[in-house]
């Protein structure tokens, strides 16, 4: 691990965000500079292994590729292969492949499936056409966020894709609110999921799919054969680049992995770990549950008003509270902050306006694309306007930061 890679790593995303003891240990490694301790955890021969850790269908492929593995969302997952910076740049320049099989996948069926989903989520699922998807949020009655998710309307059912760390929590939450003619099944362990992301993702998919992927619009999906395996292909992702996510039965994991990498050789396709996944999403101001959003935040202050349909006649859980928040205006906002020196912000660092603390950092890293420190953080509303000059306390030193309009990276290939 070289010096640049150490600068790019940020702690909390590396592990199951609910595993607080492990998260605190990792954080102590990052913040104290005790990289020997982190290396112990991530070296292939001496890392800690938890007996109950799950493995995705691609675990063998990760080990064969020399991945450094860490606990994440209950799974043993690759944090990096060649390194966070080269993997990040590979996705921005050509194409990379993420194993996202740890994500939760829940099928909803029945005559009342639509009304159930509309009651549980903030967006309006009734506008979805068959094979269309939408980003959405689950809220608690007090408008705190249970999770963010993607809702697919498929031919005979709905598919909800939730964060892996929240899979069990969301499943229980939905079960507690089941009403009417609704059938729910968690199919996470039956399905493998790959995200093929980058400017050259489409030509890769053209070589392996039975349909022309150019006809799939952003947040649309189609059923197709991928090397003879019936799959769901969606034009979705969390990188800011063009890309697809492919869902298929887990028993075909090795077969699909191999053909994807064969098809992408021309573009120097590479496997991508959690480290680059985090820097890529941060450059786009995409929220990470457990850092930027959680049960203490609401969608409006988090900048997710675009998926919060307060005009739904039937409302949704938490909508009454959110109407009041909208009327009174949120007291704080999640903003993008660019460092004005070489300092690197990290989660929980304090944000100041003059001598007054006005917020805290929720996510922070060194941006590989911008080559400067960037952060997401909540600040009091009056300090959230683009151009506002603030400061972040980094180990006792106030480093200048400026609020900027999202996203940080403005040259993505997303269609």
**What was the pLDDT predicted at 111?**
98
**What was the pLDDT predicted at 51?**
56
**What was the pLDDT predicted at 52?**
75
Q: How confident is the model at residue 414 (pLDDT cuts 50, 70, 90)?
A: confident
What average pLDDT does this structure show over 177-191? 98
What average pLDDT does this structure show over 234-262? 98
What average pLDDT does this structure show over 215-227? 97
Given a cut of 90, is residue 258 above it in pLDDT? yes
**What was the pLDDT predicted at 126?**
98
What average pLDDT does this structure show over 337-351? 98
What average pLDDT does this structure show over 131-136? 98
Q: What letter would DSSP give residue 327?
A: H
274-283 helix and 84-93 helix, angle to the nearest 10 degrees: 60
Residues forming beta bridges with residue 54, ordered by sequence position: 75
User: Across the chain, which distance is largest between two alpha carbons, in Å?
Assistant: 63
pLDDT digits (tens, 9 = 90+) for 86-109: 999 999 999 999 999 999 999 999
Strand order in the sheet with 96-99: 221-226, 229-234, 243-249, 191-197, 96-99, 270-272
**What was the pLDDT predicted at 85?**
98
What average pLDDT does this structure show over 302-325? 97
Q: How confident is the model at residue 28 (pLDDT cuts 50, 70, 90)?
A: very low
Residues forming beta bridges with residue 372, ordered by sequence position: 367
Given a cut of 70, is residue 8 above it in pLDDT? no
Domains of the chain and CATH, by start: 3-101+191-283 (3.30.1360.120), 331-415 (2.40.30.110)
**What was the pLDDT predicted at 268?**
98
Given a cut of 60, is residue 198 above it in pLDDT? yes
Q: Is 9 or 352 the better-scoring residue by pLDDT?
A: 352
Given a cut of 60, is residue 19 above it in pLDDT? no
CA distance 154 to 166: 23
- Give the closest residue to 186 by CA, choosing from 164, 216, 201: 164
pLDDT digits (tens, 9 = 90+) for 326-339: 999 999 999 999 99
Q: What letter would DSSP give residue 12?
A: G
- Give the closest residue to 150 by CA, choosing from 241, 225, 220, 89: 220
CA distance 188 to 356: 46
Judged on CB neighbours under 10 Å (0-12, 13-18, 19+), 162 is buried
Given a cut of 80, is residue 349 above it in pLDDT? yes
pLDDT digits (tens, 9 = 90+) for 366-404: 999 999 999 999 999 999 999 999 999 999 999 999 999
């Amino acid at each position: 691990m070289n010096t640049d890679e150490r600068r790019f790593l940020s702690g909390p995303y590396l592990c199951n965000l609910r595993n607080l003891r492990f998260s605190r240990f990792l954080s102590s490694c990052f913040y104290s500079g005790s990289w020997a301790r982190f290396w112990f955890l991530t070296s292939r021969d001496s890392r800690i292994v938890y007996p109950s850790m799950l493995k995705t269908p691609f675990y063998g492929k990760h080990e064969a590729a020399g991945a450094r593995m860490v606990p994440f969302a209950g799974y043993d997952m690759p944090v990096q292969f060649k390194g966070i910076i080269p993997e990040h740049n590979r996705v921005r320049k050509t194409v990379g492949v993420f194993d996202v099989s740890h994500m939760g996948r829940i099928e909803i069926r029945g005559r009342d499936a639509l009304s159930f989903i509309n009651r549980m989520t903030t967006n309006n699922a009734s506008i979805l056409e068959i094979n269309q998807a939408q980003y959405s949020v689950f809220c608690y009655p007090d408008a705190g966020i249970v999770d963010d998710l993607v809702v697919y309307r498929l031919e005979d059912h709905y598919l909800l894709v939730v964060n892996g760390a929240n899979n069990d929590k969301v499943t229980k939450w939905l079960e507690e609110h089941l009403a009417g003619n609704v059938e729910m099944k968690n199919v996470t362990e039956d399905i493998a999921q790959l995200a093929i992301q980058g400017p050259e993702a489409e030509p890769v998919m053209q070589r392996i799919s039975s349909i022309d992927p150019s006809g799939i619009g952003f947040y649309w999906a189609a059923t197709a054969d991928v090397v003879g395996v019936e799959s769901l292909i969606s034009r979705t992702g969390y990188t800011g680049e063009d890309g697809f996510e492919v869902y298929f039965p887990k028993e075909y994991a090795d077969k699909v992995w191999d053909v994807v990498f064969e098809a992408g050789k021309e573009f120097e396709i590479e496997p991508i770990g959690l480290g680059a996944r985090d820097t890529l999403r941060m450059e786009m101001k995409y929220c990470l549950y457990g850092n930027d959003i959680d049960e203490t935040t609401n969608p409006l202050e988090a900048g997710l008003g675009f998926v919060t349909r307060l005009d739904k006649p039937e409302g949704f859980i938490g909508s009454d509270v959110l109407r009041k928040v909208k009327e009174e205006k949120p007291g704080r906002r999640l903003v993008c902050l660019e460092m004005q020196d070489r300092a690197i912000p990290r989660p929980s660092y304090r944000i100041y306006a003059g001598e007054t603390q006005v917020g805290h950092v929720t996510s922070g890293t060194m941006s590989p694309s911008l080559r400067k420190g960037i952060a997401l953080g909540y600040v009091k509303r009056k300090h959230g306007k683009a151009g506002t000059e603030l400061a972040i306390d980094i180990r006792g030193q106030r480093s200048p930061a400026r609020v900027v309009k999202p996203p940080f990276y403005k040259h993505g290939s997303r269609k």
